[in-house]
Amino acid sequence: MVSRSMKSLLVLAFSLISLLFSNNTFAIGTADSTNSHHKAEKFDVAKTILDHIRDDYSWHLWGHTSIPLPVILYSDKGLEVFSSAKLMDEHHSPIIYQGNYSYKNIEGKIKVVNADGTVNAELNSKVWDFSFTKNVASLFISVFILLAVFLTVGAAYKKRGVSSAPKGLQSFMEPVVLFIRDEVAKPNIGHKYNTYLPFILTIFFLILINNLLGLVPFFPGGANLSGNIAFTMTLAVFVFIVVNIKGNKSYWGHIFWMPGMHWGMKLFLAPIELVGVFTKPISLTIRLFANMTAGHILVLSLICLIFIFENIFTSIVAVPFAAFIGLIECLVAFIQAFIFAMLSSMYIGMAIEEHHHHGDNEPHYNESDEN
Amino acid sequence: MVLGAVVGSVAAIGAGIAAIGAGIGIGQIGKGAVEGISRQPEAANDIRSSMIIAAAFVEAVALFAVVVALLGNG
Amino acid sequence: MYLLEINPLVSPAIGLVFWNTVAFALLFFILRKFAWKPILNAIHERETGIENALSKAEKMKAEMKALANENEQLLQKAREERAVLIKEAKEQSDRMIADAKDKAKAEYDRIVSDAQTAINQQKNAALTDVKNLVGTLVIEVSEKILRRELSNKAEQENYIKQLAEEVKLN
């Protein structure tokens, strides 16, 4: 009953948001076309939210304080490194920086610009942006946390041996590790789960820590890394590589020449299965990205209600809702990390599974055993 | 400008339709889970965890639609 | 590529992909060597330890059961043996009693038959004595008769009668 009324309230909030969104776009549209200086500082919800969930060249801490992060660019003129502070003036508005080319931060991306401030598309494609952005910093923070936690736990196991009961951090992490082993890896990968368990564990904990860090609104967290498609795509590509390198004869057989079918059906199924090889990592990418981004958008939208109504009393409704969504997001952080790990192990399990078909007495050995 | 607003609205409508589908799907999952638990209360834990996973899968489909809507919106 | 450029939100940035690859590879190899291996090994070792202990306990239990079974069997055997012994003893005692009885009977029979022969002998002796006595008596009587007959005929006869009566009474 409570959740039901909660839901209807949520629906109300959403409809309100969508209503205001559409009103807002219309308002801006009309304002821009008719009277540009009339209420020019009108609050743009979509822009605010997008600013918050996208990557950045500096890490905003509070007010006008932010940490400038190094910008690393590689172009045909060589590598150049400079502070992102040089891309901003004292009012935090983007300015042109004269490096190998003239760079400017346009909507969160460094672009090569001409003298008049327009993007130079031809030169832009020559520049590779390897900047140490907010998300990269967050990634390294999470890597550092994971290393600190698990090296401690690993050392504790080495030191305390197996006879004594786990203690402290060790006893906190052991059930999670056991959960991944017994509920995720063992049933989905099969009897060779031990080889892939470190991979699955690393993926699970990296996603989990970044999901949780993303929910923290202030400094060590706040970067929307697991809601960034580059991050999820990289992990999915790792899974894709493992699956297709470790895939055995039977896996490829099931893709290109589905056993137990008419040859016409085999020809028909081959392209579908081949597409399936690529849709698996893509769905992994999009699922995690969309879930985390949607959660962030949701929380930010609820907070933005206050600024839309320009009334402090809106916070009485909006802040508890945002907190509630935040709690759900904590659950989602776990579920999405779990699902990513589970699907990864399922794909690996499918690739290394040894099939025994009728009329096929010859056993299939895994060719990638020696890898 | 007007066209841009229309594109945004269409994308929002698409996301809304996807949300309806996902809502129905999650509702079905919840219904099935509650029925299953009432039939076999001893299996409640297993059913609950599979329910959450299934709900996450359905939700992901709705979020795919949101992503597509974002693509259209941009 | 153009399609991905539509929204910066869904276009993966090459920089982040690069750094993520580096970070993930680093994390994976370090954790695999220094964290997952000791953790998983320790957990596995502990599990096998517990399993071993359990199987050992199970084995002990089975052994105990076998031992108890054996005891039971021994007891059963002892019981049987006891029964056999008792039965044998009983049989023996019965036999002894029967033997004694037989012996007693034979003795008794012998004694009886001895007595009988003795009696018979005595009887015969007595009879002989009687016969001798009767003989002598007869001779005495006849002597007396003969003497009386010589004196008185009537008295003689009377006397004979009287004597005969006497003999009868004897």
Instruction: Report pLDDT for C170.
Output: 57
Residues of chain C with pLDDT under 50: 1-5
A53 CA to centre of own chain: 11
Check whether residue A322 and residue A271 sit in a common domain: yes
> CA torsion A7→A9→A15→A16, rounded to 10°?
-150
Q: Which residues of A114-140 are buried (b: 16+ CB within 10 A; e: fewer)?
A: eeeeeebeebbeebebbbbbbbbbbbb
Q: How far is B65 from chain A (nearest CA, A)?
A: 9
In sequence order, the 6+-apart residues with CB closer than 8 A to the CB of A342 are A184, A188, B53
Give the integer Cα–Cα distance in Å for A73 and A132.
10
Check whether residue A307 and residue A179 sit in a common domain: yes
Q: Which residues of C touch B65 (CB under 8 A)?
A: none
- In this predicted structure, which of A121-130, A354-363, C12-21 has the lowest mean pLDDT? A354-363
Check whether residue A243 and residue A110 sit in a common domain: no
pLDDT (mean) for A138-148: 92
Check whether residue A325 and residue A220 sit in a common domain: yes
Residue A152's alpha-carbon distances to A143, A180, A203, in angstroms, are 14, 19, 19
Check whether residue A99 and residue A218 sit in a common domain: no
Check whether residue A127 and residue A222 sit in a common domain: no
Give the integer Cα–Cα distance in Å for A122 and A89.
26
Long-range contacts of C141-144 (CB under 8 A, 24+ apart): C141/C167
Q: Which residues pair with A128 in a beta bridge?
A: A74
Please give the backbone phi and psi of residue A43, each rounded to the nearest 5 degrees, phi first: -70, 120
Higher pLDDT, C159 or A2: C159
A87 is in which domain, residue-wise?
70-131
Check whether residue A231 and residue A326 sit in a common domain: yes
Domain ranges of chain C: 35-169
Give the integer Cα–Cα distance in Å for A132 and C19.
8
- In this predicted structure, which of A12-16, A47-51, A61-65, A181-185 has the lowest mean pLDDT? A12-16
A74 CA to centre of own chain: 25
β-pairing verdict for A97-98 and A78-83: unpaired
Q: Write the pLDDT tens digit of every residue in A254-303.
A: 888 878 778 888 888 888 888 888 988 988 898 898 888 888 888 888 88
Q: Which residues of A touch C13 (CB under 8 A)?
A: 55, 109, 129, 133, 228, 230
Instruction: Report pLDDT for C24.
Output: 92
Residue from the list A25, A32, A290 with its beta carbon closest to the beta carbon of B67: A290
Higher pLDDT, A84 or A340: A340
Instruction: Report pLDDT for C64.
Output: 94
Q: How far is A323 from chain B (nearest CA, A)?
A: 20
Instruction: Tell which residue, A2, A8, A7, A17, has the closest CA to residue A314.
Output: A17
Residue of B nearest to A339 (CA): B53
Q: Write the pLDDT tens digit of every residue in A151-165.
A: 988 888 888 776 677
Q: Do C10 and B73 touch (CB under 8 A)?
A: no
Instruction: Tell which residue, C43, B54, C30, C28, has the closest CA to residue A186.
Output: C43
**Residue A2 lies inside a defined structural domain of this protein:** no
Domain-ending residue, one of A97, A131, A165: A131
Residue A325's alpha-carbon distances to A259, A303, A329, B57, in angstroms, are 48, 11, 6, 19
Instruction: Tell which residue, A107, A81, A80, has the closest CA to residue A94.
Output: A107
Q: How far is C11 from chain A (nearest CA, A)?
A: 7
Q: Compute the Cα dihedral for A40, A45, A46, A48 and give only its sign.
A: positive
Check whether residue A123 and residue A140 sit in a common domain: no
Alpha helices in A35-81 (DSSP H): 45-53
**Residue A79 lies inside a defined structural domain of this protein:** yes
Instruction: Report pLDDT for C154.
Output: 75
Residue of C nearest to B71 (CA): C7
Interface contact B4, partner C, CB < 8 A:
no
- Answer whether residue A31 shows pLDDT above 50: no
Q: Compute the Cα dihedral for B49, B50, B56, B59 and give only its sign.
A: negative
Which residues 8-27 on chain C approach chain B with CB closer than 8 angstroms?
A: 8-10
**Residue A326 lies inside a defined structural domain of this protein:** yes
Residue from the list A22, A294, A338 with its beta carbon closest to the beta carbon of B66: A294
* Amino acid letter, A207: I
Residue A305 in contact with residue A312, Cβ under 8 Å? no
Domain-ending residue, one of A81, A115, A131: A131
Check whether residue A165 and residue A287 sit in a common domain: yes
Residue of C nearest to A125 (CA): C1
Q: Which of C11, C30, C36, C37 to mutate to test the interface with A (most CBs of A within 10 A)?
A: C36
Give the integer Cα–Cα distance in Å for A191 and A210.
30
Instruction: Report pLDDT for A26.
Output: 37
Compute how many other C-beta atoms are within 10 angstroms of the C-beta atom of residue A243. Answer: 21
Q: Calculate what percentage of chain A has a pLDDT beyond 90.
A: 18
What's the pLDDT band for A358 if we cut at 50, 70, 90? Answer: very low
What's the pLDDT band for B53 if we cut at 50, 70, 90? Answer: confident
Q: Which residues of C touch B67 (CB under 8 A)?
A: 10
Q: Which residues of B touch C10 (CB under 8 A)?
A: 67, 70-71
**Residue A25 lies inside a defined structural domain of this protein:** no
Give the integer Cα–Cα distance in Å for A56 and A138.
11
Interface contact C5, partner B, CB < 8 A:
no
What's the pLDDT band for A368 if we cut at 50, 70, 90? Answer: very low
**Residue A155 lies inside a defined structural domain of this protein:** yes
Instruction: Report pLDDT for B70.
Output: 67
Check whether residue A206 and residue A110 sit in a common domain: no
**Residue A291 lies inside a defined structural domain of this protein:** yes
Q: Which residues of C touch B73 (CB under 8 A)?
A: 7
Q: Do A230 and C16 touch (CB under 8 A)?
A: yes
Give the integer Cα–Cα distance in Å for A316 and A312.
8
β-pairing verdict for A128-129 and A97-98: unpaired
Residue from the list C14, C20, C30 with its beta carbon closest to the beta carbon of A128: C14
Give the integer Cα–Cα distance in Å for C104 and C97.
10
Give the integer Cα–Cα distance in Å for C148 and C142.
10
Structural domain total, chain A? 2
Instruction: Report pLDDT for A200.
Output: 93
Residue from the list A22, A332, A335 with its beta carbon closest to the beta carbon of B9: A22
Q: Which residues pair with A111 in a beta bridge?
A: A104
**Residue A31 lies inside a defined structural domain of this protein:** no
- Answer whether residue A1 shows pLDDT above 60: no
What's the pLDDT band for A359 if we cut at 50, 70, 90? Answer: very low
In sequence order, the 6+-apart residues with CB closer than 8 A to the CB of C151 are none
Q: Which of C5, C7, C11 to mutate to test the interface with B (most CBs of B within 10 A)?
A: C7
Instruction: Report pLDDT for B3.
Output: 53
Instruction: Report pLDDT for C148.
Output: 66
Q: Write the pLDDT tens digit of every residue in A205-240.
A: 999 999 999 888 887 777 888 888 899 999 999 999
Check whether residue A236 and residue A320 sit in a common domain: yes
Q: Which residues of B touch C8 (CB under 8 A)?
A: 74
Interface contact C17, partner A, CB < 8 A:
yes
Q: Domains in chain B and their CATH numbers?
A: 18-71 (1.20.20.10)
In sequence order, the 6+-apart residues with CB closer than 8 A to the CB of A112 are A101, A102, A103, A119, A120, A123, A124, A126, A127
Give the integer Cα–Cα distance in Å for A184 and A178.
9
What's the pLDDT band for A41 if we cut at 50, 70, 90? Answer: low
Which residues 10-69 on chain B approach chain C with CB closer than 8 angstroms?
A: 67
Check whether residue A139 and residue A228 sit in a common domain: yes
Question: E strands along A17-69, which residues?
Answer: 58-62, 65-68
Interface contact C120, partner A, CB < 8 A:
no
Instruction: Report pLDDT for A36.
Output: 38
Establish how many alpha carbons lie within 13 A of residue A62's alpha carbon, considering only the half-sphere containing its beta carbon: 4
Residue A303 in contact with residue A322, Cβ under 8 Å? yes
Q: Which residues of B touch A342 (CB under 8 A)?
A: 53
* Amino acid letter, C11: S
Give the integer Cα–Cα distance in Å for B20 and A14.
13
Residue from the list C17, C20, C36 with its beta carbon closest to the beta carbon of A201: C36
